[in-house]
Amino acid sequence: MVNHPVHGLAQGLVLQWAQDQRGWVALVVFVLEQAGGDVTVQEWLPADRLRPASA
């Protein structure tokens, strides 16, 4: 799960991990559901913005 600072919670997929000045970050792809059509987003996010998906 992605806890995006603007869009809130969304299910996502981690594509890559890396370390930068913030610590661990993940390249994540997720879908935002919007009235005009869904949008796919790919973004580097700090690890503290991620959590495992519930089963």
8 A C-beta contact, residue 25 and residue 46: yes
This prediction's pTM? 0.78
Total domains present in the chain: 1
In a domain, 55, yes or no: no
* Residue 37: domain span: 2-48
Burial of 3 (0-12, 13-18, 19+ CB in 10 A): middle
Q: What is the pLDDT of residues 16-51, one digit of tens each?
A: 999 999 899 999 999 888 889 998 999 999 999 998
Q: Which residue's structure tokens are 């299910």?
A: 11
In a domain, 19, yes or no: yes
pLDDT of residue 53: 78
User: E strands, the chain, where?
Assistant: 2-4, 8-10, 12-20, 23-32, 39-46
